[in-house]
């Protein structure tokens, strides 16, 4: 244990609290992803359709509904991996989740530009406000899956 006041021992209460916060944040993110994924497949399927840009279905041989279903499966898989991945793989899983959040961002932009209502986002201000939350999701995925820093 260090005697310097500016250096904390690795097993100090602050270190434990930091690890606990990351653990809780990781579990919450994983749970939120699984919940959202199930929503894609069931109760919120129609709402999620508003977020699929027309360009996606123009480029891919998929319908809007198939894109929603596929992204739901991906979210369930990511959420499950975030919760259950062994510690040595968590950072990679967090990176994949971060990339997923970046990849779906154009859908959120399309929802704003096309003025599509969904999830109570029925004004341009609300839809624009949602865009600000996407970087927070990227940061959440990265921070909660790191073991240091």
In tens, the pLDDT along 18-44 reads: 899 999 999 999 999 999 999 999 999
Pair 121, 130: CB distance under 8 Å: yes
Which tokens is 143 given? 């921070």
Q: What percent of the chain has pLDDT over 90?
A: 84
Say what the pLDDT of residue 5 is: 52
Q: Tens of pLDDT along 63-74?
A: 999 999 999 999
Q: How far apart are CA 147 and CA 18, in angstroms?
A: 10
Whether this prediction's pTM lies above 0.75 is answered by yes
The residues, any chain, with a CB within 8 Å of residue 57's CB and separated by 6 or more, are 63, 64, 67
Q: What is the residue-level pLDDT of the chain in tens, covering all 149 positions?
A: 445 555 555 555 666 798 999 999 999 999 999 999 999 999 999 999 989 999 999 999 999 999 999 999 999 999 999 999 999 999 999 999 999 999 999 999 999 999 999 999 999 999 999 999 999 999 999 999 998 76
């Amino acid at each position: 244990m260090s005697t310097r006041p500016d250096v904390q021992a690795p097993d100090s209460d602050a270190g434990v609290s930091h690890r606990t916060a990351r653990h809780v944040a990781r579990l919450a993110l994983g749970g939120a992803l699984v919940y959202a994924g199930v929503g894609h497949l069931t109760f919120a399927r129609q709402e999620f359709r508003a977020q699929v840009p027309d360009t996606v279905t123009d480029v891919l041989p998929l319908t809007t509904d198939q894109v929603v279903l596929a992204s739901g499966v991906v979210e369930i898989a990511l959420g499950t991996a975030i919760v259950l991945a062994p510690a040595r793989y968590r950072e990679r899983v967090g990176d994949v989740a971060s990339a997923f959040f970046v990849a779906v961002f154009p859908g959120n932009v399309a929802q704003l530009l096309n003025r599509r209502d969904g999830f109570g986002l029925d004004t341009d201000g609300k839809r624009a406000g949602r865009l600000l939350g996407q970087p927070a999701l990227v940061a959440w995925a990265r921070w909660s899956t790191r073991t240091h820093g």
